[in-house]
A and B are shown apart, each in its own frame.
Chain A
Amino acid sequence: MFDTEILLQDTQEILGAVPVTLGMALTIFVLSTIVGSIFALVEYRRVPVLRELIMAYKIVFKGVPMVIVIFLAYFGLPPAFQFLLSLLGINFNAHETPNWVILVIAVTGCIAAFQSEIIKGALNAFDTGQSDAAHSLGYTNGQLFRRILFPQVVLTAIPDLTTSMMVIMKALSLGFAIEVVDIFAQSQLTAALNYYYLEAFVIAVVIYMVIAYIVTQIADRLEQALRVRT
Chain B
Amino acid sequence: MDVSAMIPELFSALPLTLAITFTAMFVGFCLALVATTLRVRRIPVVSHLTDLYVSYARSVPVVLQLFVAFYGLPLLVALLGAEDFFSPTIAAMVGLSFYHGGYLSEVMRPAYLAVDRGQHDAADSLGYTFRQKIARIVGPQAVHFALPGYGNSIIYLIHNVALVMYIGAADVMATAHLIMERDYNQYQFETYLVLAVIYALMCLIAWFIVHFFELRSPMQAPEATTTAQIKNAAIASV
Contact = CB atoms under 8 A, between A and B. Distances in A.
A67 B162 contact: yes
B188 A201 contact: no
B237 interface: yes
Contact of A201 (B56, B68, B166, B236): B68
B189 interface: yes
B199 A65 contact: yes
B64 interface: yes
B196 interface: yes
Contact of A208 (B64, B195, B237): B64
A117 B55 CA distance: 24
B196 A198 contact: no
Interface residues of B, number: 40
A173 B200 contact: no
A63 B59 contact: no
B72 interface: yes
B25 interface: no
B144 interface: no
A164 interface: yes
B231 A121 contact: yes
B60 A208 contact: yes
A72 B68 CA distance: 27
Nearest to A168: B238
B75 A2 contact: yes
A176 B203 CA distance: 25
A167 interface: yes
B67 interface: yes
Per DSSP, chain B at the interface is: helix
A196 to B, nearest CB: 10
Contact of A68 (B55, B199, B235, B236): B199
B160 interface: yes
A212 B59 CA distance: 6
Interface in A180-230: 184, 187-188, 197-198, 201-202, 204-205, 208-209, 211-213
Given A65-B199, A72-B193, A170-B60, A198 B237 contact: no
B138 interface: no
A176 B166 CA distance: 10
Contacts of B155: 62-63
Contacts of B204: 63
B63 interface: yes
B235 A160 contact: yes
A118 B235 contact: yes
B94 interface: no
Given A68-B196, A76-B189, 4 more contacts: A68-B199, A163-B232, A170-B238, A174-B61
6 contacts: A64-B200, A65-B158, A66-B236, A67-B163, A166-B58, A197-B67
